[in-house]
Amino acid sequence: MDSLTLYVAYAFVGTGVYLIARMFFHQEEQRSAKQLLGEESEDRKASNAVIKYSRPFFSRYVVPTVRGMKIDPYRKVLKRKLIAAGMSDEFTPDELFSFKLFLIIGAPLFIGGVNYGGDFGIPLWILPAFSVVGFYYPDLMLSGATKARQRKVMRAMPCIGDLLALSTEAGLDFLGAIGKVVEKARPSPLVEEFDQVLKEIKVGSSRADALQEMAIRLNMQEISSFVAILISADQMGASIGKVLRQQSEQIRTQRFLAGEKEGAKASQKIMMPMFLFILPAIMLTIFGPFGLSMMNSGGPGF
């Protein structure tokens, strides 16, 4: 009876090893085929070291599982976030979700290994908290990339508006002006978005729809207002060059006011460090010599 139980256990273990090995090699064949077709590559752009060194693991072992999940609404949300952050060439929605799932296990394992190797004294009960940090790390990364991209768009917007106005006043139509800006302007996220607008118009989208899609991708109030005014001017037959100049001046004014607001905030934020660090140093510099002279002369209180 004991021998029969042992053989049955061996049979179950062998079957499990066979199924796992078969699944592993099947996934490897699929991944190799997709790499040959150019659909998947582990050598794509990586904005930081975490993505670079994690990609071989989550792209091999997690992405195939995520592709089978019925999460289409969540895929649309992730795709919109990737486009707004300018990272659509770095991740697909499935890869981003796989990256989040991988970090649930990968983050505590990495921190635990570093803690064990370096003897930093991190308690083991804290390690599960890094699973939560790992899961939300890609969201924080996307949020930071989106804000940085929006700042670049705001910096480039007045100059792009002036170039568009000059081009239209020189005799080009609006699409020709966009093409000239894309060709001549300094590379920036806004230039990339205008290039995408031209591509969408060439494949059949209307001018209004292409501009509205650009506003949705950038998700900025300034761009939304800019696009709405352009569409209204185009539909009413107004001078687009004049509208573009007015918008450029308005954006410059907004940037100037935003700079003044940040300067006012900085003067308030500096008060606490000044009281904690600068004022004690000044007091020590002023009254230190008097205290030392009184100590040396045996004055009152010393």
For 55-102, the pLDDT digits (tens) are 888 888 888 888 888 888 898 888 888 888 888 888 889 999 999 998
Contact 103, 145 (CB under 8 A): no
Distance (Å, rounded) from C-alpha 76 to C-alpha 80? Answer: 6
The model's confidence at residue 136, banded by pLDDT at 50, 70 and 90, is very high
Architecture of domain 149-259: Up-down Bundle (1.20)
Half-sphere exposure at residue 168, Cβ-oriented, CA atoms within 13 angstroms:
20
In the chain, count H helices and then E strands.
13, 0
**Residue 278, token pair as written in the block:** 């600068």
Domain ranges of the chain: 24-127, 149-259
Name, in order, each residue with C-beta under 8 angstroms of 27's C-beta and a sequence gap of 6 or more.
Answer: 60, 61, 64
Note the pTM of the prediction, 2 decimals: 0.67
Burial class (CB in 10 A: 0-12, 13-18, 19+), 229: middle
Q: Is the dihedral of CA 137, 142, 148, 151 positive or negative?
A: negative
Chain CA centroid to CA 108, Å: 23
